[in-house]
Amino acid sequence: MALEVELRIDRLAKTGEGVGSFEGQSIFVPNVVPGERVQVRLLESGWPRRGELLAVLLPSPDRRTPPCPLSEVCGGCGWLHLIESAQRAAKLEIVLSSLEHLGGVRRSEIQVMPTMGSVRQLGYRRRAVMHFSGGQLAFFSRRGRRAVPIETCPALVDPISKLPGLLSPFLAAFGNDIDEVHLLAEGNQSAFAVFLRAQVRPSHLRGCEQAVTTLGLSGAVVVPREGAPVTIREPVLRARPSADLGVPIYLRPDAFAQNNAEANEDLVRSAIQALAAGPGERILELYCGNGNFTFAICKSAGAVTSVEHSPVALELARRSAQEGRVTNVRFVQGEVGRVCDGLVAERTRFDRILADPPRMGASRIARWADCLKVRSVVYVACDPGALARDAGRLRAAGFSPQTLQLVDLFPQTPHVEAVMSFSR
């Protein structure tokens, strides 16, 4: 019989779960708030050890009634039960604790800037990655891969908030061919991409064409398991940032884009301010994507070399450069590690690096920064653990931590973006 125990929740982990202690072991519990006393049933398997919440015996004043009926099961948002100010405080503590314990970087070494919040707490996501199960679009459940069917999602911006339920019937004939479905909105426009486990068939194209026409969407992209994507109508959406951030940015549903448009502008401004590029300086931008930071860098720097693996993302970035008549950027398509190793071998020199790596981080960034003789590095991170490990490597290579700025692009979730600067 599973053991039931009473715990005090001490903190929140980067997984979004609360952490308490029982007999010297950390117990991870969902849907709890620091400071609460809770009754949990200890799960007998798995590591770290987890508990199922049975009752909140002493609730925290930071607890609230979740504004979504699926909050207990859906993995899309994990902190709907927690007020936003407490969310931001928890995110900062998670990042600082990760830096200390994984990177050996003490919080006293860093100038910590006030966390920048999101204008909207719900209805802010312009992008969603969904799955298809039982004829319905779905998010995965918390800590599992059980499909939670979604008709309407209050976290999504208006043009796509009801799209999961509306789009599902058009995808029913795809059967098990669908791996993922990506939704994208910009302004009043919306598009979607279907990632297949198979090759493209005429029935796939017909279903997407019908969805685009019937639902009044801009377009769609069908991405086969192997080979080139097939576009339907016009799936490329145009985003016009604030005047200080450069030229229009283009988005496509099969390419990555930050999902909170307003908070993303704060993220870009924070990174550009930390980079502090001057006229005549040579900047190396790693993982440039569709140019989210690129053109803001170009406004102040002398020359920018921007590296990206995805050909779709670089095609969008080049389109922006052409429209904006930006001439001081050179795009390099290729795996970032190989490109940087090539630059090192050629004894190329840069003044500064801005890197926006994927969730796993950039484990060789310290070597690249050292060999390329840069004076400073700005690191944009979406994972506290990866940031901490790479910050420790940079510090060991002689780059001192300077500033840390968190931008809350993902309210109602444990995810956060961090901008951290280092100088030699």
Beta carbons of 288 and 310 less than 8 angstroms apart: no
Q: Report how far residue 380's alpha carbon sits from residue 360's, in angstroms, rounded to the nearest whole number.
A: 12
Query: How many CA atoms are closer than 13 Å to the CA of 256, on its beta-carbon side?
Result: 15
Q: What is the largest CA-CA distance in the chain?
A: 70
Strands ordered across the beta sheet of 352-355: 111-112, 400-407, 417-423, 376-381, 352-355, 282-286, 303-308, 329-333
How many Å apart are CA 170 and CA 167, to the nearest integer?
Answer: 6
Residue 225 CA, distance from chain mean position: 23
Cα(first)–Cα(last) distance of the chain, in Å? 58
Strands 25-29 and 18-22: antiparallel
What is the three-class DSSP state of 180?
strand
The Cα–Cα gap between 27 and 12 comes to 11
Q: Does domain 127-237 have CATH number 3.40.1080.10?
A: no
Give dist(CA 126, CA 335) in Å, integer. 27
DSSP β-bridge partners for residue 404: 112, 420
Out of 1.10.275.10, 1.10.3720.10, 2.40.50.140, 3.40.190.10, the CATH code matching 4-63 is: 2.40.50.140
Nearest C-alpha neighbor of 184 from the set 233, 140, 125? 125
Q: Are strands 136-140 and 147-149 parallel, antiparallel or unpaired?
A: antiparallel
Residue whose entry in the numeric block shows the structure tokens 């919440």: 53
Q: Find where tokens 């799936």 sit.
A: 235
pLDDT at residue 371, rounded to an integer: 97
Instruction: Tell me how far apart the alpha carbons of residues 354 and 291 are, in angstroms, rounded to a whole number.
Output: 12
What angle, 0 to 180 degrees and rounded to 10, lies between the N-to-C axes of helices 202-215 and 163-171? 150
Name the CA dihedral angle for 355, 77, 187, 329, rounded to a multiple of 10 degrees: 10
CATH class of domain segment(s) 89-118+260-423: alpha beta
Which pLDDT score is estimated for 46?
73
pLDDT per residue, tens digit, the chain (424 aa), is 679 999 999 999 999 999 999 988 999 999 999 999 999 999 877 788 999 999 999 999 999 999 999 998 899 999 999 999 999 999 999 999 999 999 999 999 999 999 999 999 999 999 999 999 999 999 999 877 899 999 999 999 999 999 999 999 999 989 899 999 999 999 999 999 999 999 999 999 999 999 999 999 999 999 999 999 999 999 999 998 887 877 999 999 999 999 999 999 999 999 999 999 999 999 999 999 999 999 999 999 999 999 999 999 999 999 999 999 999 999 999 999 999 999 999 999 999 999 999 999 999 999 999 999 999 999 999 999 999 999 999 999 999 999 999 999 999 999 999 999 999 9
- The region that residue 246 occupies, defined by phi over 0 for left and psi between -120 and 50 for alpha, beta otherwise, is left
DSSP-derived letter for residue 116 is B
Beta carbons within 10 angstroms of residue 114's beta carbon: 9
Angstrom distances, CA of residue 310 to CA of 200, 286, 332: 20, 12, 10
Quick check: do 4-63 and 127-237 share a fold? yes
pTM more than 0.75: yes
| CA 273 – CA 197 distance, rounded (Å) | 42
Domain boundary assignment for the chain: 4-63, 89-118+260-423, 127-237
Q: Specify whether the CB–CB gap between 118 and 411 falls below 8 A.
A: yes
Element (H, E) at 96: helix 84-103
3-state secondary structure of 80: coil
